[in-house]
Structure 1
Amino acid sequence: MGLVDGRVVVVTGAGRGIGRAHALAFAAEGARVVVNDVGAALDGSGGAAGPASVVAGEIRALGGEAVADPSDVASWTGAASLVSTAVSAFGALDVLVLNAGFLRDRMLVNLGEDEWDAVVRVHLKGHFAPLRHAASYWRFEAKAGRAREARVVMTSSGAGLLGSVGQGNYSAAKAGILGLASVAAAELGRYGVLVNAIAPAARTRMTEGTFDMAAPASGFDAMAPENVSPLVVWLGSRESAGVTGRVFEVDGGRVSVADGWRHGPCRDKGSRWSPGELGPVVFSLLAEAGSPEPVYGA
């Protein structure tokens, strides 16, 4: 018996990289998997059903159950179709792993409107739209007395936690995902849905051009995408009961809880401040709060 035996899992962006690793890892632990990938290039252009079909075929060749889905998850109808595929193919949906994305990196002074819109659309709307349709399904099931013990795992990034130079569009979208995860965890718990996010680091098409992530000739490959998936599988299992609204950084053999925005030091005058009074107040607050983590690439 696998950790997620019989559970129905959708993984978006599962044709390559981390998403592919997730799909294979879920299948290895007994899940029935919907492998979603629109088959786009790294910059989001083009598209083909091939990558999703290849991964689904790999799972079936290993004795697992999988179907391919080429829907555009940032499209309202595509996201609805994805949820319908899971229910029609396997009779249910238990786990939604949101992973699809691409890059169009530019420094802010060179970042075009189309490059902003495209990245925010795929990363942020590509998380919201499938979540919205899955949530409607889970609410219906819960009201019918068939709560699914559902799980959602969203994919942010260190860029979403701390920012990354040259990736203003990507950083903003990934930060937005963290906000969405917090709200979803608060709203969907009543239907038995737990929502968490990860900020992974691994060698993929999106990172090979940015970092030196060459695989070692021997020994532990700390940047292998497969290192990220065990945590995602666990978060998708029933064993993760009670864990919701959290963000985990994961890479290599390291797992940590990201300690996000919190209320910090405060001064309350009890009445309105004048602008001239606030300089000493702000500097004293900053001294108590300490320095923020540096932006990646700064």
Structure 2
Amino acid sequence: MAIRFDGKVAIVTGAGGGLGRQHALALAARGAKVVVNDLGGAVDGSGGSVTAAEAVVAEIRAAGGEAIANGASVTDFEAVQAMVQQAIDTWGRVDILVNNAGILRDKSFAKMDMADFRLVVDVHLMGAAHCCKAVWPHMIEQKYGRIVMTTSSTGLYGNFGQANYGAAKLAQVGLMQTLAIEGAKYGIHVNALAPTAHTRMTEGLLPQPVLDALTPEAVVPAMLVLAHESAPSRTILLAGAGSFEAAHITMTEGIHLGAGAMVPEQLAEQLASVTDRSSEQVPQGGSAQGTHEFEKAMAAAASLAL
């Protein structure tokens, strides 16, 4: 099966360079019409110019594709709404949203200014929420949509000096989980991509041989699969250097202790049983936890009644 996007309209944020540029080029090469969004700022989010987006648009058009540039900041909801309207006015629909825009303000938490914490959350989390909210009614109306969040191994597993970035990136997974549930009946699939790639955001952080292997191009196949009409939903794909994995948020089988004065002590003594992963599951919704716990409580009550 060829992965094609003929007749589809895609918006890629942060597409003026790095991974976003490769996303935009790949979607266009496979038939999509692309809104290339980029504020054109520095890695820390300062400054701005639409020049970077326009350069990518020129590349796409030179290769025979269709694209338009947009310089909206994803932190500005009105500007994001105008960007989506620009796509609607130009091509009549929006099928794909790739939330790729991001910035870094790295420091250890002890030294981090809370303004830098808030700005990173605003760009990554609120930026993604703004874009999702702006495309949502159009995707509902056409009963079709594909949204790709960009999460990170930092959000999934942690990384020194990136408390702000990690919090924002894992929050995108939480947004994905609920939007996928709410969008299911409208044919809207929502997924997340955790890329490992050498871009200007990783410059100077890793040895050169590692950077040479971690090309943005190697991540793109995962995005294309998650943005395609055959895409799954509520899937977290990890990609880097030509390898692909999946991440899951799981729940262990756990134990039932009931209520009582000594429960904290019992829990501490049996914590290894609670955290044992041999029978863990991937819940299909937030209610699964409560259902699981209630069933354990009822089973315990029934055993006492015998």
TM-score (norm 2): 0.86
Letter in 2 for 1:191: Y
Q: 1:230 to 1:278 in 2, by over 3 A?
A: closer
Q: 1:273 to 1:127 in 2, by over 3 A?
A: farther
For residues 167 and 137 of structure 2, what CA distance do their matches in structure 1 show? 27
Q: 1:2 to 1:168 in 2, by over 3 A?
A: closer
- Map of 1:109 onto structure 2: 110
* Contact 1:96–1:152, Cα closer than 8 Å, also in 2: yes
How far 1:64 sits from its partner (Å)?
A: 0.5
Aligned identity (percent) is 39
- Map of 2:194 onto structure 1: 199
Letter in 2 for 1:168: A
1:253 paired with 2:248, answer no
- Map of 1:164 onto structure 2: 159
SS of the counterpart of 2:230?
helix
1:46 paired with 2:47, answer yes
1:74 paired with 2:65, answer no
Quote the RMSD (CA, aligned, Å): 1.7
Correspondence for 2:215 among 221, 224, 227: 224
How far 1:161 sits from its partner (Å)?
A: 0.8
How far 1:236 sits from its partner (Å)?
A: 1.6
- Map of 1:234 onto structure 2: 225
- Map of 2:58 onto structure 1: 57
For residues 228 and 93 of structure 1, what CA distance do their matches in structure 2 show? 23
For residues 216 and 22 of structure 2, what CA distance do their matches in structure 1 show? 6
C-alpha deviations, 1:145-188, integer Å up to 9, x for none?
A: x42x3100110011011011110000100010111111111111
Correspondence for 1:279 among 265, 268, 271: 268
How far 1:91 sits from its partner (Å)?
A: 1.0
For residues 137 and 90 of structure 1, what CA distance do their matches in structure 2 show? 13
Correspondence for 2:182 among 187, 208, 221: 187
- Unaligned stretches of 5+ residues in structure 2: 279-306
How far 1:278 sits from its partner (Å)?
A: 2.9
TM-score (norm 1): 0.88
How far 1:253 sits from its partner (Å)?
A: 1.3
* Contact 1:2–1:28, Cα closer than 8 Å, also in 2: no
* Contact 1:82–1:130, Cα closer than 8 Å, also in 2: no
RCO higher in structure (CA 8 A, sep ≥6): 1
